[in-house]
Amino acid sequence: MSVQARQVGEGSGVIRTALITVATGGTTFLITNGLNQPQSVCITLSVLIGGIVLMVRFLVEFEKRLAAVEKLEKDGMEDMKRLVGDAFAKINEATELFGSVEASALQTDLVTQLVRNSTTISPDSPPIVYQFVQAKIKETSDFLKQLSEGGTVTYYGEDRDWLLGLTRHATLSVDAISLAAVDHDLWNSEIGQRYLDAQRRAARAGKRVRRIFVLDKPEMELDPDLRRAYEEQRAMSIDVRLLDRSAVHTPLQVQLRDLIVFDDILAYETTPTISDPQIAQVAETRLVLNDARVKECAQLFRELWEISRELLPEGQRNA
């Protein structure tokens, strides 16, 4: 109800009370006067009864207003309790979240910087920017959740950020199995050159970097591009070997796949669209942190490494 409407209602109530009081007093005077009572008695009774009616009306209105005030106070207290409770819940949640950030292995300033930068994007930003940022934050959140739970993260298509980031931040080793169906044109591409540079730096820093090139053809028919990649990587202090697919034991044939094992604790697997190395593309990329699966990948690399060999000198290949 507006202030003006409330003022009109209050004015009407006062006028109505006054009219009732006057009407009651007048009626009393007429009755007492009709009973041949003295004039003084008629006036006294009229004033007395009119005053009583006025007092009763006042008490009734006062009780109504008091009840309304009490209800308003009660509703206000409930709203205040709810607001205070919500505020404390948010404070507790924020305190707990900040405590978790400080207790995590990640740098606190990096996490707080991420949150602070996220707050600069508002719904008033262009819709495409706002929705894109929302999607990236959700993607990052899901990615961190899956990593923390030690599961498997899948990227549909060819990834570059995981590959380069993991190679640059490997602390002990990078062991790779290279299939022609996946890596047939990798080494001449921009991402392949960056990948090789990251491996070169890792090898020079004293980390173990090994690669097995799986051959679909005999060594005498070795692709010139693959031979060049082999020699180039050997010159970068990368330990490289060749493996004829036909030499792989039958139980390992079904396990043979393009993968990289980082520090023996994380596996990076890629799956080609088709087996033809000339037209195949990467269908999906997976990061595997499951301990049993990573150990299986590391064991597969060790077994293949034992039966692989270095490229024979030119004279021995032609003999």
CATH number of the domain where residue 197 is located: 3.30.870.10
Do 167 and 304 belong together in one domain?
A: yes
Do 134 and 185 belong together in one domain?
A: no
Under 8 Å between Cβ of 219 and 287: no
Q: Is the pLDDT of residue 8 over 50?
A: no
Q: Is the pLDDT of residue 152 over 60?
A: yes
Q: Which pLDDT does position 315 carry in this prediction? A: 47
Phi first, then psi: what are they for 310, rounded to 5°?
-80, 165
Binning pLDDT at 50, 70 and 90, where does residue 149 land? confident
Do 278 and 300 belong together in one domain?
A: yes
Q: Is the pLDDT of residue 91 over 90?
A: no
* One-letter amino acid for residue 212 of the chain: I
Instruction: Single out the residue in 29, 58, 82 at which a domain terminates.
Output: 82
Do 146 and 201 belong together in one domain?
A: no
Stretch 24-53: mean pLDDT, rounded?
Answer: 69
Binning pLDDT at 50, 70 and 90, where does residue 319 land? very low
Q: Is the pLDDT of residue 318 over 50?
A: no
Do 298 and 252 belong together in one domain?
A: yes
User: Tell me: the pLDDT tens digits for 162-210?
Assistant: 999 999 999 999 999 998 777 767 888 898 999 999 999 999 999 999 9
- Answer whether residue 54 is part of any domain: yes
How many structural domains are present in the chain? Answer: 3
Stretch 61-82: mean pLDDT, rounded?
Answer: 76
Stretch 158-165: mean pLDDT, rounded?
Answer: 88
- Answer whether residue 289 is part of any domain: yes
User: Tell me: the pLDDT tens digits for 266-315?
Assistant: 999 988 876 665 666 778 899 998 889 999 999 999 999 999 998 866 54
12/5 Cα distance (integer angstroms)? 11
Beta partners for 244?
Answer: 215
Under 8 Å between Cβ of 172 and 209: no
Domain containing residue 247: 156-312
User: Tell me: the pLDDT tens digits for 267-279?
Assistant: 999 888 766 656 6
Do 307 and 161 belong together in one domain?
A: yes
* One-letter amino acid for residue 89 of the chain: A
- Answer whether residue 252 is part of any domain: yes
* One-letter amino acid for residue 177 of the chain: I
Specify the range with the lowest mean pLDDT, choosing from 30-44, 51-65, 147-161, 251-265. 30-44
Binning pLDDT at 50, 70 and 90, where does residue 100 land? low
User: Tell me: the pLDDT tens digits for 199-234?
Assistant: 999 999 999 999 999 988 776 567 788 888 999 999
- Answer whether residue 57 is part of any domain: yes
